[in-house]
Structure 1
Amino acid sequence: MSAELKRALLERCRTMEIPLVGVAPIDRWEEPPFEPWIPEEFWPQAVYPEARSVVVIGLPITLPALETTPSIWYRELYRTVNILLDQYTYRISNFLNDRGFPSVFVPRDGYADVQALLKNPVAFFSHRHAAYLAGLGTFGVNNVLLTKEYGPRVRFGSLFTAAELPADPLLDDDLCTRCMRCVQICPAQAIDDRDYPAGITNRSACTAYSAVLAKRGLSPCGVCIKVCPVGEDRKLFDRMDPSIYSRGEGATNEELHRSWEHVRSYGRK
């Protein structure tokens, strides 16, 4: 029955055009794959005691729009993807509820706004860690999840269900190349590669920079996921050469930089 239910769930996600779907049993949270790990109060069974499985979905952040960051284009893309994640996980949870398996979606961003994060830079549940435990990717130096398909340019949403669904395997290979581009480009200097895979060691600095962008109507930042070389999406958009993000003598990327600067010049406060 559980295998049949998962097949129906995956087919439902396919018809909703959701490219990434994974399932993690709740006992995976009890066996930390690395340290430091999530405190127990953030585990799914602590948030929703009836949970037996966590279903995680992922939607891509389109690279050419992200390359304009900080910009109104990337801000609207980010908001659109978050809205879709909330809508999709809500609909999937009801899909399972209708079949007799109590389920509930988890909001994509479990906090009020960036000002709330300045007070406490964490949410009540981590979709990134859920995606890792559902076999959708591995952590990069910048503490975001890297996927084979989109690198770190993907947003995740989760739902808790009482259904005991067949689990997906964890990824065996570490996708992070440790190229350190995310460390070098971070405008807030918030990433410390010495603490890998914990990644961002100064959440306050990252959040403070996001707050500055928010006042201009341009948050979030996204620079570190823009330059990451991992992901099949780079081939699709012909972005295999990382030097396009730098300017200097002999650069051949002026057309791209002009287009990015055009977008950045409009829509901000």
Structure 2
Amino acid sequence: MSEKLREKIFEKAASMDVHLIGVADPEAWRSPPFDVWMPEEFYPSNIWPDCRSVIVIGFPISLPVLESTPSIHYHELYKTVNSLLDQVAYRLSVFLSEMGHGSFFIPRDGYGSLSVLKDRPMAFFSHKHAAYFAGLGTFGMNNTLLTKNYGPRVRFTSVFTSAKLPYDLPLESQLCTRCFRCIKKCPVQALPGKDYPEALMDKERCRAYHEKLYARHISPCGICIKVCPVGEDRELFARTDMLVYEHDGPRRELRNGWKHVQEYGGKKE
């Protein structure tokens, strides 16, 4: 029954254009994969003791749009993807509940505003860790989850369900190439240059920079996921030559296009 239910869930997700999906075991949080780990209060079973499975879904961020960051183009795409994630996760939770398996979704961000993060720089649940346990990717030096298809250019959300489903397992091979591009390109030097979670990003530096971009209507930043070489989407969009992101790199016409987009739709500094 559980295998058939999983198939139905995946079919339902596919009908809503979700092709990045996995299932995590809530008990996996009790066997930390890293020496540095979150408090137990952030575990799925603490948030909802009846949780038997965590379904994680992801939507990709289009690389050509992201490349114009910071811009109104990426700003609008980011909002669109976030909205779609919440809507699809809600529909998936209702789908399960109507079949007799109590379920609900966790919002994709879980915080009210950037100012809230100044004092408490975290949400009540981490989707990227859920995605890790669901076998969707591994962590990179930019502190994000890297996937095979899209590198770190993915947004995630989760559904808690009382249905006990067959679980996926974390990937065994690390996807991060340790190229250090994310470290070098971060505009506020928020990344420490060590493997996650040996050293965590400076969340306040990142938050403060995003607050400035938000005031100009061109948030978020996204530089660290833009320059990551991991992801099959680079083949799709002919972006395997990472020198394209250098000031004097090849394909100057691309940078001209990004500059044009950046000139419109947001407030000037």
TM-score, normalised with respect to structure 2: 0.97
Distance in 1 of aligned mates of 2:113 and 2:35: 28
Report matched runs for 1:1-269 at 5 Å.
1-198=1-198, 200-248=200-248, 251-269=249-267
Count, aligned residues: 267
- Unmatched segments (≥5 aa) in structure 1: none
CA offsets, 1:103-126, max 9 Å, x none? 010001101111111222111100
Distance in 2 of aligned mates of 1:195 and 1:169: 21
Task: Assess if the C-alpha contact under 8 Å between 2:140 and 2:195 holds in 1.
Answer: no
Task: Assess if the C-alpha contact under 8 Å between 1:23 and 1:55 holds in 2.
Answer: yes
Distance in 2 of aligned mates of 1:199 and 1:61: 26
CA offsets, 1:20-66, max 9 Å, x none? 00001110000001121121111111111211110000100000000
Compared CA separation, residues 145 and 17, structure 1 to 2 (3 A):
same
Deviation at 1:252, TM superposition (A): 2.9
Compared CA separation, residues 246 and 264, structure 1 to 2 (3 A):
same
Deviation at 1:98, TM superposition (A): 0.5
Q: Which amino acid aligns with 2:262?
A: R
Q: Which amino acid aligns with 1:245?
A: Y
Deviation at 1:199, TM superposition (A): 5.1
Deviation at 1:169, TM superposition (A): 1.9
Task: Assess if the C-alpha contact under 8 Å between 1:140 and 1:199 holds in 2.
Answer: no
Q: Which amino acid aligns with 2:105?
A: F
Deviation at 1:198, TM superposition (A): 4.7
Deviation at 1:183, TM superposition (A): 0.3
Q: Which amino acid aligns with 2:175?
A: L
Q: Which amino acid aligns with 2:206?
A: C
Q: Secondary structure at the match of 2:5?
A: helix
Task: Assess if the C-alpha contact under 8 Å between 1:195 and 1:201 holds in 2.
Answer: no
Compared CA separation, residues 266 and 198, structure 1 to 2 (3 A):
farther
Kindly, what percent of the aligned residue pairs are identical?
55
Q: Secondary structure at the match of 1:33?
A: coil
| RMSD value, Cα | 1.0
Greater CA deviation, 114-123 or 227-236? 114-123
Deviation at 1:4, TM superposition (A): 1.0
Task: Assess if the C-alpha contact under 8 Å between 1:138 and 1:176 holds in 2.
Answer: yes
Q: Secondary structure at the match of 1:193?
A: coil
Distance in 2 of aligned mates of 1:198 and 1:2: 37
Distance in 2 of aligned mates of 1:79 and 1:73: 10
Deviation at 1:195, TM superposition (A): 4.9
Greater CA deviation, 234-243 or 38-47? 38-47
Distance in 2 of aligned mates of 1:14 and 1:214: 33
Q: Secondary structure at the match of 2:104?
A: strand
Q: Which amino acid aligns with 1:265?
A: E
Task: Assess if the C-alpha contact under 8 Å between 1:136 and 1:147 holds in 2.
Answer: yes
Deviation at 1:196, TM superposition (A): 2.8
Q: Which amino acid aligns with 2:144?
A: V
Q: Secondary structure at the match of 2:55?
A: strand
Greater CA deviation, 112-121 or 27-36? 112-121
CA offsets, 1:235-265, max 9 Å, x none? 00000000000113xx432211110000000
Q: Which amino acid aligns with 1:15?
A: S
